[in-house]
Each structure stands twice: as structure tokens, then as C-alpha cells.
Amino acid sequence: MSNIDNNLSTEILNQLPTPVMAVNKDLELIFLNSAGCGLLGRELKELEGHFCYDLFNSQHCQTEECMMKRVMGGEEPATVRNTVNINGQNMPIEYTADVLKDKNGKIIGGLEYIIDITETVRQEQKLQNQSRTIMEISTPVIKLWDRILMLPVIGVVDSFRAQQMMDKMLNEINKTSSKVIILDIQGVAAVDTAVANHLIKIAKATSLMGCKCVLSGISPAVAQTLVQLGIDLGSINTNSNLQEAMADAFSLLDYKITN
């Protein structure tokens, strides 16, 4: 009956669509199901006795990141991401490692269940690229004049957005050697203490780059809010509209418009 059970268990494992591997405590392969053998393009009898790290050549192999060794060393079973190299081709995977025990509960090796996540990683990369594009569009730094930049801000300014704005501004200042940047907040939905503090930090950061920050789009409502909140914008030049901000920028750079 036990042989029938063993044969049935093996047949079930061989019908799984993803690789399942078992190794002894020395990391020598003692079992690999049909999906795993198909991935390597070899028969099980050719693979038995080979070290798993020679067969899969993953980023975790022979490092402290190897979950197979870690679970055999006493850590809890875990699922982690990794990349294997099969016949010179990299494949992103997610694998779950656990200990292999005999009938008496003694640890005799390790087990791995492997999932190909190539498509998942591709979709994640696509979403990241889309997010990056959206962030670029939502934080456009525009060159208005020689050494004068402008960043129109629309929507909500939270900590993440403020950091994104700062990174974009500082990179453009460094790239263009600009001396004035106009931060236009006419499109900001609401200005409170948190938003004001973000703006002050951005202005200080640009100042450290040798660039003056001019704040544009201060409406009467925003001005009253800042006064009511007791917020001091310090040495930041403020203007009600972009035209005045541009004139302010020209004055700071000693530019003159001539006919």
C-alpha cells in the first residue's frame, strides 16, 4: 500500500504545472517533478545527485539569502523572490522553501515550490513606467527664460508630492544652472500648515543650490489662511500672479526688457 501511495504522490507532483524540488542536507537534488525537469530540459535520472545551485544558478544560490539553507537552519518557511539562470536566460521566480522530514520528524533536507513570475514582473514594470510618466506629467519643470525655471503645481501637495517636486526642481536647477525658479501654486486646492512647510523646505533646498525660489499664485484666500495660521514664509518672494513673478525673476537677475 505504501508503494502505491508513493507512486500516487509522485504522479500528483508530476502533474503540477510548476517546479517542485527536494534536496538533501548537502543541497544535492533527490527529486524534481516533471515541470522542473522540463524547465531544465533534462530527465530526473540525469539530474539526481547534482547540487541544486549548479542546476538553477540563482541569485540566492551559495549566499546567505538561500532560503533552503535558512529553513534547514531553523528559520520559518518563507516565500521570496529570486532570479534563476537557465541555459543563459534569466527568469524571475517566487519560491517557497520548507524543510523535508522523514517519518520520525527528523529534518533530512529541504523542499522548494517554484513559480515563474515573468509576466507579473513585466506588468509591475509597466505600471512603474506608467506611474513615472504620470509623475513627470504632474510635475513639469518649464524653462521660461535663460536661468529662469517654473514649476506649476496643481492639486494636492502631500509629503510624497513635495519630495517629488523637490527632486525634480533640484535636478533641473543643477542641469540648467538656473538662478531663479518660480513655484506657481495657483492650482493648489488648499494651503494649510503642512503645505506651507513643504513649500518652505523646497525654497530652502533651492537656495542651497544657489537658486532663488519665487512663489506665485498667492490668492487673497491663501494670503488670509497663511496669516490666520501664523505662517511666516520668511525670505521667499511671493506674488499674486505669474506676470508679477516673472517681473520679480527679471529683477533678481538684473534683466531688462528693451525695445
Per-residue pLDDT tens for 34-65?
999 999 999 999 999 999 999 999 999 999 99
Helix (H, G, I), strand (E, B) or coil at 21: strand
Mean pLDDT in residue range 244-256: 90
Mean pLDDT in residue range 223-228: 84
Give the Cα separation of 196 and 174 in Å (integer). 24
| In the predicted structure, residue 80 carries a pLDDT above the cut 60 | yes
pLDDT in tens, 99-146: 999 989 999 999 999 999 999 999 988 877 766 655 555 668 889 899
| In the predicted structure, residue 1 carries a pLDDT above the cut 50 | no
Q: Give the helix, strand, coil percentages of the chain, each rounded to 5.
A: 45, 25, 30
- pLDDT confidence of residue 135: 58
Region(s) of the chain under CATH 3.30.450.20 = 2-118
Name which residue leads in pLDDT, 196 or 91.
Answer: 91
- Kindly give, in sequence order, each residue whose CB lies less than 8 Å from that of residue 61, ignoring residues fewer than 6 positions away: 52, 53
Pick the CATH number of 2-118 from 3.30.450.20, 1.20.1250.20, 3.40.50.720, 3.20.20.60: 3.30.450.20
Q: Which residues pair with 85 in a beta bridge?
A: 90
Give the Cα separation of 28 and 68 in Å (integer). 12
Region(s) of the chain under CATH 3.30.750.24 = 138-252
User: 134-141, long-range: CB within 8 Å, 24+ apart, which pairs?
Assistant: 135/164, 139/164, 139/165, 139/168, 141/168, 141/169, 141/172, 141/181
Mean pLDDT in residue range 160-176: 88
- pLDDT confidence of residue 18: 92
Give the Cα separation of 131 and 117 in Å (integer). 21
For residue 33, what pLDDT band results from cuts at 50, 70 and 90?
very high
For the chain, helix (H) and strand (E) counts, in that order, are 10, 10
Q: Which DSSP symbol is given to 51?
A: B
Q: Which residues pair with 96 in a beta bridge?
A: 79, 113
Dihedral over Cα of 6, 37, 34, 73: its sign: positive
Q: How far is CA 109 from CA 15, 61, 69, 105, in A?
A: 23, 16, 9, 11
C-alpha cell at 14: 508530476
Give the Cα separation of 127 and 124 in Å (integer). 5
| In the predicted structure, residue 188 carries a pLDDT above the cut 50 | yes
Q: Give DSSP secondary structure letters for 22-35.
A: EEETT-BEEEE-HH
Mean pLDDT in residue range 73-77: 92
Q: What backbone phi and psi angles, to 5 degrees, belong to 5?
A: -60, -45
- pLDDT confidence of residue 3: 52
For residue 196, what pLDDT band results from cuts at 50, 70 and 90?
confident
Residue whose C-alpha cell is 542651497: 208
- pLDDT confidence of residue 192: 84
The CATH T-level fold of domain 138-252 is Transcription Regulator spoIIAA (3.30.750)
Mean pLDDT in residue range 240-247: 90
Mean pLDDT of the residues in the chain: 87
Q: Which residues pair with 29 in a beta bridge?
A: 23
Percent of the chain with pLDDT over 70: 93
CB atoms within 10 A of CB 162: 18
- pLDDT confidence of residue 44: 93
| In the predicted structure, residue 253 carries a pLDDT above the cut 80 | yes
- pLDDT confidence of residue 132: 63
Give burial (CB, 10 Å; 0-12/13-18/19+) of 15.
Answer: exposed
Please tell me the least confidently modeled range out of 104-118, 141-155, 222-236: 222-236
